[in-house]
Chains A and B, each alone.
Chain A
Amino acid sequence: MTLIPWRTKHPDDTPREQQLSPTGGFRSEMDRLFDSFFHDAFNWGDRPWGAVGGWGPPLDVEETDKEVAVRVEIPGMSADDLQLAISGNSLVISGEKKETTEKPKGGYVYQERRYGSFRREVALPSAVDADDVQAEYKDGVLHVRLKKSQEALPKRIPIRAT
């Protein structure tokens, strides 16, 4: 797996994936360990979002027989401020999260939300049809659906008995 590892939404909480299912949590935890090990060992300092402010929204990638779906939790954006691109076998999600309000008169009492530019690159598990991508932004979640290309779909090969 070459997907880029990323932090959990709230580092102080139990990671959500551990709560989905005991085995799934273990698997993704192992994936994360592998990813972070290899990423840190061989791509040290080469984090794609590092250069643009050091943050990126969390995302889910799921695969079915015919498609790959990516969900990104990125609240407080407008669809115009999000960009999607397919480059090689990667999906690139980038954008800029602008501050929703002007500088408050009395200043910030609390500031936990992140602002600024971000960029995330997701390695796709199979070839996709770049002309048939559906993307929707709703309630702060970006949902991208990519259809696998014909070549990537499993083909049944008949075996002739002789």
Chain B
Amino acid sequence: MATDINVNQTEENRAERARTGQYYRPHVDILEEGDELVLVADMPGVKSDAIEIDFQDGVLTIEGSVEPRYDDKVNFLLCEYGIGDFYRTFRVSEQIDSNRIHAEYGNGVLTVHLPKVEEAKPRKIMVNAAG
């Protein structure tokens, strides 16, 4: 079966152009857990109330803002990571029940649960004999 969820590069590039300022793409794991997809994203330095999750037209957006940590005067001896918000979008091909999406955050890791829509039951359509 094809990948149920994938990062749509075009979508991301478009988003990139629409946004101002610096942001970083969080690293994610996506797991298939039977009746739901679970997305786990590394977003270190973000506070739980600074995270926004949006699901619209099959596109999941996760966003987290990071408060600046440094003064300009700091003397860096080594700087391997800096400051910037996290932002990433995903196009989800699976049918997701958007009302039941829930998420938790702890120790710099965001976990988003995306429950699948229950399989549509086969429906018999009665045909009434006319006349």
A residues with a Cβ closer than 8 A to B are 1, 3, 6-10, 13, 16-17, 19-21, 24, 28, 31, 58-64, 68, 71, 73-78, 100-101, 104-114, 122, 125, 137, 139-141
Contact = CB atoms under 8 A, between A and B. Distances in A.
B114 to A, nearest CB: 11
A13 B27 CA distance: 12
A105 B107 CA distance: 25
Interface of B: 3-5, 22, 24-25, 27-34, 37-38, 40, 42-47, 69-70, 72, 74-84, 107-109, 111
Given A77-B107, A108-B31, A9 B80 contact: yes
A75 B47 CA distance: 12
Nearest to B3: A109
A64 B77 CA distance: 10
Contacts of B44: 73-75, 139-141
5 contacts: A19-B22, A20-B79, A61-B76, A77-B107, A139-B108
B56 to A, nearest CB: 21
A75 B42 contact: yes
Contacts of B43: 75, 140
Contact of A111 (B29, B77, B79): B29
Contacts of B81: 8-9, 16, 58-60, 73
Nearest to B76: A62
A59 B79 CA distance: 7
A17 B32 contact: no
B45 A73 contact: yes
Interface of A is mostly: loop
Closest 6 A/B residue pairs (Cβ):
A140-B108, A106-B32, A75-B108, A16-B82, A140-B44, A58-B80
A140 B29 contact: no
A114 B5 CA distance: 20
A60 B79 contact: yes
Contacts of A71: 69
Contact of A16 (B46, B83, B107): B83
Nearest to A63: B75
Contact of A104 (B31, B70, B107, B109): B31
A79 to B, nearest CB: 9
Nearest to A56: B80
A148 B37 CA distance: 49
A77 B106 CA distance: 9
Nearest to A65: B75
B82 to A, nearest CB: 3
Given A60-B81, A101-B31, 5 more contacts: A3-B77, A19-B22, A61-B79, A62-B74, A76-B108
Given A75-B108, A110-B5, A28 B24 contact: no
Given A6-B80, A16-B83, A62 B107 contact: no
